[in-house]
Structure 1
Amino acid sequence: MSTVKPRAERAAEARLAATRIEAEGVDGVIVGWVDNSGVTRVKTVPVRGLENAARWGLGASPCFDGFLVDDSLAPSAGPVGDLRLVPDLAALHRLAAQPGWAWAPGDRWTQQGDPHPGCQRQFARRATEALAERGLTVRAGIEVEWIVDGGEAGPAYGMRRLIGHSDYLRDLLRTLREQKLTVLQLHPEYSDGQFELSLAPGDPVEAADTAMLVRHTVQAVSLRHGLRASFAPVTAPNGVGNGGHLHLSLWRDGQNLGHGGSGPHGLTREAEAFLAGVLAELPALLALGAPSVASYLRLVPGHWSGPHRCWGLENREAALRLITGSAPEQANAEIKCFDAAANPYLAVGGVLAAGLAGLGAALRLPAETPGDPDGVAERLPAGLGQAADALRKSEVLRAAMGDPLWQSVLDVREAEIALFAELGPAEIIEAVRYRY
């Protein structure tokens, strides 16, 4: 069970951190979290206020659990109560693209010092710890895709687009390196003005932290170059939108369990059971990993978005893509149906919980889908309402999330369905384009 460090210990760590980053020119510290709609919210303190923030936390109303993407509130959200937002100093980074600022993700605690049952980051941590109790670890990474307005469009994956944005992308690489983030790959993607970054994997909570930090950095660097970045699931009708593909591999005693086993394509029985658990819960997981009404404008056949509940080796149209890699340590699975509107802590925590259930039940994967799944495999939910219904029926995710978090997510999903009920695709796209 996650526990918060004693206040005196947190304060001492913050005092040292504040001294260090102030010497590096930092004046203010951003403490951020992601709400159930997928929007990043923040509070800030002067650098010399970091010690007090770490000791006591920052006030953050529980009504944030009911915020919708347009800043309105779900009907269940009320004005009463308060929580404490505590910065995680282990993840503190100076922001190279925002001179004078540093950033840390925050955990939310009650006034009495207990974990807030609606804290999405602590949900992801609990799921990680539950795996550790089995002697298992997960290495995870979340691809970051975005589209910028302005500048050179150019062909998909084309050199022309790279040339047209070479100063911008070079600045981005330098900035990420200054922030001590390891970029594995950066390239132009399919849509006009679209790019994708892959980062080195880490533990599940670290992967979610990294995804958020990278997105903040992309936004800041884009603005410096007169560009505006969007992470929305879709930015144009009938367009190929922004995925938030989750890669993960299961490990025991330093060995990648996705390699060298007797299961399909070398999976060990544990890795197969884990992935079978994920596949079993995918309809409900969409309410966490594809959380916007706009998500389902992206999740259509023929766009490599993973709209079918199936798996396949290197099958980019399947929701669960198995990747063997060229070396044992590279073997992993990719969940392709998630997008960039997701709260990454909810998405990661939900996937780990589903995988744990698969391990507990010793599940096996169904038959592989080796080709185009359209017309062959089951379609995943085609709308947010169907995904929310699946989450409502999922005993696995309800038990893992706990009723307060599970219910608050459903409340936000239902309220956003109502919010956009009378809008057409183009209006939905315009409404969410710059919210993520």
Structure 2
Amino acid sequence: MELAAREQAESLARQEAARLAAEDVHGVALTWVDNAGLTRVKAVPTARLAHTARWGVGMSPVFDIYLVDDSLTTSRHIGGPDGDLRLFPDLGRLTVLAAQPGWAWAPVDRYDQLGAPHPACQRQFARRMTERAAEYGIEPRMGFETEWVVLGPNARGAAGGPGSAAAGEGPAEGATAGPADAVGEPRRSPPSPAYGMARLVELSDYLDDLLSAFSAQRVEVLQIHPEYAPGQYEISVAPSDPVGAADLAVLVRETIRGVSLRHGLSTAFGPVVEPDGVGNGAHLHLSLWRDGRNLCRDGDGPHGMTRECEAFLAGVLGELPALMAVVAPSPAGYLRLRPSRWSGAFHCWGLENREAALRFITGSPADPGGANAELKTVDPAANPYLAVGSVIAAGLAGIDAGASLPPPVAGDPAVTGGQSRLPVSLTEALGHFEGSAVLREALGEPLFEAVAAVRRAEAALFADATPAEIAAATRGRY
């Protein structure tokens, strides 16, 4: 980072610190997301924000090879106790946290001690891919859905690995065994209906506080509703630039966590909460724009796509087996990716088909911005910065190749047949990832190898675990 940029950031941070102090904000949480999909943090007093903006905050690069259970592996380029990095907050994203009085939040970019970008910084990777898209004259707009399960105050979300005592334990006798239909009440009767108004009524105060918090944080909520699984909810926010979409994915999740705790509730963002249940997704929506025009409509490609949009989506679809190691990075994700559960288990695309891994949505004629594509295989264990950057890289490779989409699939591929499954395990996905020249070039060797090392180590960590142990060890970690 150049000295002039640091000085400018320091000046802006002084102004922001004065504003925060006036609002009784005493600390700023600075977050990044590691390759296991966990949001890590360093925090500074508000009075230190200007110093932090100029000089950064230290952290070890070893976090790039941490696993979901806080153990660590190593990689060809990153590993061991040596070295140091500097975290620099993005002050443009600085947000006062409505659910955590006295605190603000900002995402960070990571640099080395000499001011050079850290080659494994996932957020800067997402920015590089966004800038690469701009060279094609393309402005991607993206947004993540966030699904989570509300757990009663006595519910248990184990944090241990498969070898720990917690991983194999069920709920304590008399405790809330799983998702609560009403706050704090163990389930002793059938759960409320999926997508049912009863679920909104039961937690209406909680959901109202969520909406209030997002409004205070100037996060535009498009919709919020009960989902399929017991205690499960989903929220969608307005699309943004790719880096902004990933930042919002972090902010949305931590806001939900904060509001939940203030209501005496806990949350499960893991890909699966119960091993045989319907899991949580983090579906990624994307559209492509140029000069104010949505390239996903008013073209002569399939269902009104422009040819450029078709080639981009064909690139994503073609690279999807390798992308699975990025967007479904945990063994738990492959418990979620099952046929006939709207999770996108088959390697296909379709028009408004919720069983297809890549779903195309034309939007209504009255809504020119509504046409978009949805990647359904993304789950909450995914690092959102890696996800957006890797999807852009795959899409641009499709444009370079002049790729075309195969015919769309109608109906449930598990019933109609003829479509291949996407990888059914993390090990299988990792094999495709390690063979992907597109992702290796886009990520760069240090980040690519670190991601692969973490995937390999987590596959080994859970190799002998039962589905119940995998669910218990991961549902409360993200």
Aligned to 1:46: 45
CA contact (8 A) 1:75 1:415 kept: no
Matched, 1:295 2:333: yes
1:86 equivalent to 2:117? Answer no
- SS state at 1:285 partner: helix
Check whether the contact 1:298–1:305 (CA below 8 A) recurs between aligned residues: yes
Match of 1:227 in 2: 265
The match for 1:23 is 22
TM, length-normalised to structure 1: 0.98
SS at match of 1:223: helix
Query: In structure 1, what is the equivalent of residue 138 of structure 2?
Result: 136
Distance 1:75 1:356 in 2: 31
Q: Which residues in structure 2 correspond to 1:50-65 (within 5 Å)?
A: 50-65=49-64
Measured in 2, the distance between the counterparts of 1:3 and 1:282 equals 37
Question: Superposition pairs for residues 21-420 of structure 1, below 5 Å?
Answer: 21-76=20-75, 77-150=79-152, 151-152=180-181, 153-326=191-364, 327-374=367-414, 375-420=417-462
| 1:373, distance to aligned residue in structure 2 (A) | 1.6
Measured after TM superposition, the shift of residue 389 of structure 1 is 0.7
Query: Structure 1: how far apart are the matches of 2:192 and 2:106?
Result: 36
Q: What CA distance in whole angstroms lies between the structure 1 residues aligned with 2:197 and 2:136? A: 47
Larger displacement relative to structure 2 (185-194 or 68-77): 68-77
Q: Do the aligned residues in 2 keep the contact of 1:3 with 1:115 (CA within 8 Å)?
A: no
TM superposition shift of 1:367? 1.2
Please provide the CA RMSD for this pair.
Answer: 1.1
2:235 and 2:396 map into 1 onto residues whose CA distance is 29
Shift of 1:178: 0.3
Q: Distance in 2 between matches of 1:303 and 1:360?
A: 34
Consecutive unaligned residues of structure 1, counting only runs of 5 or more, are none
Counterpart CA distance in 2 for 1:324 and 1:4 is: 47
Deviation at 1:3, TM superposition (A): 7.7
Q: Following the alignment from structure 2 to structure 1, what is the Cα–Cα distance between the partners of residues 452 and 88? A: 25
Cα 1:347/1:3, change in 2 over 3 Å: farther
Q: Cα distance, 1:5 vs. partner?
A: 6.3
| Paired amino acid for 2:374 | E
Match of 2:467 in 1: 425
In structure 1, C-alpha distance between the alignment counterparts of 2:306 and 2:354, rounded to whole Å: 22
Higher relative contact order (CA 8 A, sep 6+): 2
8 Å CA contact 2:311, 2:399 repeated in 1 = yes
TM-score (norm 2): 0.90
- 1:24 is displaced (CA, Å) by 1.0
SS in 2 for 1:6: helix
Q: Number of matched residues?
A: 435
Question: How many Å separate the matches in 2 of 1:142 and 1:4?
Answer: 35
How many percent of aligned residue pairs carry the same amino acid?
61
* 1:179 CA drift (Å): 0.4
> Is the 1:66–1:411 Cα contact (8 Å) retained in structure 2?
yes
